[in-house]
């Protein structure tokens, strides 16, 4: 198990095998999830390792946006709204995490729902296949 504490001192723990190994740096997906969830538009978030030829793994993530987030982008088409939301989330996450912990360009996915198991929990180990397809 590994764990992190949020700003209020609450502890979160997870599985060691879920750590993202980016060129030898161990990144807690719980820390990344917490930073993503701090964004006012993010309702749900899950981060995971994506294969990378240089670093072994890099940070990727999927988020579900809250109802009404689109109001900030009146008049823009759906693709432009989503791209602006992704950039806003990456920028905000970069203010609280070291740069190497922020989901890479093209590796922050917006989805309507996160894949969950029979217990209703997000199964982090299934995220690469769900969002990266053949690249996983």
pLDDT tens readout for residues 15-71: 667 899 999 999 999 999 999 999 999 999 999 999 999 999 999 999 999 998 877
DSSP category for residue 114: -
| Alpha-carbon span 4 to 9, nearest angstrom | 9
**Which residues pair with residue 2 across a beta bridge?**
14
Confidence of residue 136 (pLDDT cuts 50, 70, 90): low
- Looking at the predicted structure, is the pLDDT value of residue 5 above 70? no
Confidence of residue 11 (pLDDT cuts 50, 70, 90): very low
- The structural domains of the chain, ordered by start, are 2-131 (3.30.300.30)
Q: What is the pTM of this model?
A: 0.83
Q: Identify the pLDDT of residue 12.
A: 45
């Amino acid at each position: 198990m590994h764990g992190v504490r949020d700003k209020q001192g609450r502890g979160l723990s997870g599985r060691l095998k879920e750590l993202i190994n980016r060129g030898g740096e161990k990144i807690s997906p719980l820390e990344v999830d917490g930073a993503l969830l701090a964004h006012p538009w993010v309702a749900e978030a899950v981060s995971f390792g994506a294969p990378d030829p240089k670093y072994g793994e890099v940070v990727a993530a999927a988020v579900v946006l809250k109802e009404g987030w689109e109001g900030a982008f009146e008049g823009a088409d759906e693709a432009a709204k989503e791209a602006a939301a992704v950039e806003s989330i990456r920028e905000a996450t970069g203010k609280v995490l070291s740069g190497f912990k922020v989901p890479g360009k093209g590796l922050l996915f917006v989805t309507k729902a996160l894949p969950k198991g029979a217990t209703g929990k997000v199964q982090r180990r299934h995220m690469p296949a769900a969002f990266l397809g053949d690249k996983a």
